[in-house]
Amino acid sequence: VAVKDPTAVERANLLNMAKLSIKGLIESALSFGRTLDSDYPPLQQFFVVMEHCLKHGLKVRKSFLSYNKTIWGPLELVEKLYPEAEEIAASVRDLPGLKTPLGRARAWLRLALMQKKMADYLRCLIIQRDLLSEFYEYHALMMEEEGAVIVGLLVGLNVIDANLCVKGEDLDSQVGVIDFSMYLKSDDDLGGKERNVQIAAILDQKNYVEELNRQLNSTVSSLHARVDSLEKSNTKLIEELAIAKNNIIKLQEENHQLRSENTLILMKTQHHLEATKVDVEAELQTYKHSRQGLDEMYNEARRQLREESQLRQDMENELVVQVSMKHEIELAMKLLEKDIHEKQDTLIGLRQQLDEVKAINMEMYQKLQVSEDAMKEKNEIIGRLEDKTNQINATMKQLEQRLQQAEKAQMEAEAEDEKLKQEYVNKSESLQKEFSQKEKQLLQLETDLKIEKEWRQTLEDDLQKEKETVSHLRIETQEIINLKKEFLKLQEKNKQLKMICQDQEAALEELASKLSESKLKIEDIKEANKALQGQVWLKDKEATHCKLCEKEFSLSKRKHHCRNCGEIFCNACSDNELPLPSSPKPVRVCDSCHAILIQRCSSNVA
């Protein structure tokens, strides 16, 4: 028959007792009323069973007066693992009537039950088994799986409300005896199954209500967060709406101004048309009296009116072209200024980088000088250490020679002793004195030998230390060589950065010169435009020859008209070209005012 482990049997018995006590406590509490006091018998038996479970497998700790075996040590660990348990531990220590650690442990269990956190506290304790091993044996209940099962059973005690008075109760002298009569079955227990079913249903409802309450709390917190975010977004939208309203009001004012300007222009054109109509009507009335040439005069008036309308249309088109050219020139100026500012920023950044590189080079040069000085000192130390090692080797050789001589002397002494024993057996009394003297000499030689061995060991240790210092110095010299290489690399990078900086400065100087030239040209063009404003174009019929070369216009010599001064040149004489950022090809420029020329059809060609 296989023999069962007695500790396993103890654990199983304690687990069954814990199950019975917890189950009986819950059932009796639900039937009696959920709020219990300290005089309730099932509650007292529950604390006794828990005390036995926590005492199982406790290690015996030695104290000054006696051996100590208490459960207060592991329970005191809980406040380090679970910060919320600090309040219970502090209140237990402050209780005036408690004098023993066992009484403090019993008070701690009662306070944990009232807080409904006994399962949480013991779960934290079970998880840290490396800490529990200081208080419990490896086969203890708290170190095995039965402890985790008991912790799971303790979660069911959260349905009970306990109102326990710990202050006036004598917890130090209580005797923990389990009353098994409470757990024996009777006839009344058979009729209590329906009541147990009802209790289970009530507990399920309670758990459902608690879970529903947790979910509602989480949804309420999420809704609060959403309300806060919506309020923030609402305030932002209100601000954006106010800004948009202000923009709409400004746009309405601008629209109103433009409409008023449009009405003024329409009124002026209507007055002009009315005046021209009045003149035409007056001329018609005057010419009605004379019938001769009436049709010719009427046709001429219509022709003049068409020419004036055509001239007006041309003037409006020219005005639009000049406005667009002005905008293009302003854009080109802004782009040029922006490029200049960006180039200046890059120049400033490159100069800062150059200053930083110079500072790094100075630091590396100083470090190199310091490292060279340290290297010289370490080389001197290495030379001294080599001299010391040579001296130590010489002393080691001398010690080895002495050791060999001592061993030879010992061998000779042993041989003489053996001969003396064989030859002078009868003369023992006289020889005992000599033998004692020889033994003393032998002891002295052995002590000398030990001293020499210890000296040799110390010298070997010193030699090992010197070798380690030499290896450290070699490593430091290698690091110094690596620092030299890095310094040379940084110098090369510094040279490359200097070259790049010089190239960029030269490029920026060229760009600045070109920009200044283009700025001067643009200013000249503006001054010429201002000076030549108000001049009238020359009619195509009147312009038959180029103003510069005085040759007649044809298919090969096309007309180019200046926008400002109104002069007309041929394509051979207008060779001046100016590049613009808005046009892909260069534009022809007038020789007198430097304005842009427009190509027009020749008078000879339709």
Residue 602 pLDDT: 38
What percentage of the chain reaches a pLDDT higher than 70? 81
What percentage of the chain reaches a pLDDT higher than 90? 4
CA 236 to chain centre: 28
Average pLDDT over residues 402-418: 80
Of 182, 216, 245, which residue is a domain's last? Answer: 182
On whether residue 416 sits in a domain, the answer given is no
How many residues are present in the chain? 606
Residue 227 pLDDT: 92
First to last CA, the chain: 131
Helix, strand, coil percentages, rounded to 5, for the chain: 75, 5, 20
Q: What is the pLDDT of residues 469-502, one digit of tens each?
A: 888 888 888 888 888 888 888 888 888 888 888 8
Dist. CA 23–CA 173, nearest whole Å: 27
With 0-12 / 13-18 / 19 or more C-beta atoms within 10 angstroms meaning exposed / middle / buried, residue 29 is: buried
Of 134, 160, 182, which residue is a domain's last? Answer: 182
Q: Which residues pair with 600 in a beta bridge?
A: 559
Q: What is the pLDDT of residues 182-239, one digit of tens each?
A: 766 555 555 555 666 677 777 778 778 878 888 888 889 889 988 999 999 889 999 9
On whether residue 472 sits in a domain, the answer given is no
pLDDT band at 442 (very low <50, low <70, confident <90, very high): confident
On whether residue 160 sits in a domain, the answer given is yes
On whether residue 576 sits in a domain, the answer given is yes
The bridge status of strand 35-36 relative to strand 161-162 is: parallel
pLDDT band at 603 (very low <50, low <70, confident <90, very high): very low
CATH of residue 170's domain is 1.20.58.900
Residues 21, 45 contacting (CB under 8 angstroms):
yes
Domain span at 97: 6-182
Total domain count, the chain: 2
pLDDT band at 604 (very low <50, low <70, confident <90, very high): very low
* Average pLDDT for the chain: 80
Is the pLDDT confidence value at 507 over 60?
yes
Q: What is the pLDDT of residues 574-586, one digit of tens each?
A: 555 545 444 555 5
On whether residue 597 sits in a domain, the answer given is yes
Residue 601 pLDDT: 43
On whether residue 431 sits in a domain, the answer given is no
pLDDT band at 446 (very low <50, low <70, confident <90, very high): confident
Instruction: Supply the DSSP symbol for 158.
Output: G
Can you state the angle between helices 193-289 and 294-423, rounded to 10 degrees? 150
On whether residue 259 sits in a domain, the answer given is no
Residues 385, 448 contacting (CB under 8 angstroms):
no
Residue 66 pLDDT: 43
Q: What is the pLDDT of residues 127-186, one digit of tens each?
A: 988 888 888 888 888 898 998 999 999 988 888 888 888 877 778 777 777 777 776 655
Of 182, 216, 249, which residue is a domain's last? Answer: 182
- For the whole model, what pTM was predicted? 0.35
Residue 346 pLDDT: 84
On whether residue 344 sits in a domain, the answer given is no
Dist. CA 53–CA 546, nearest whole Å: 122
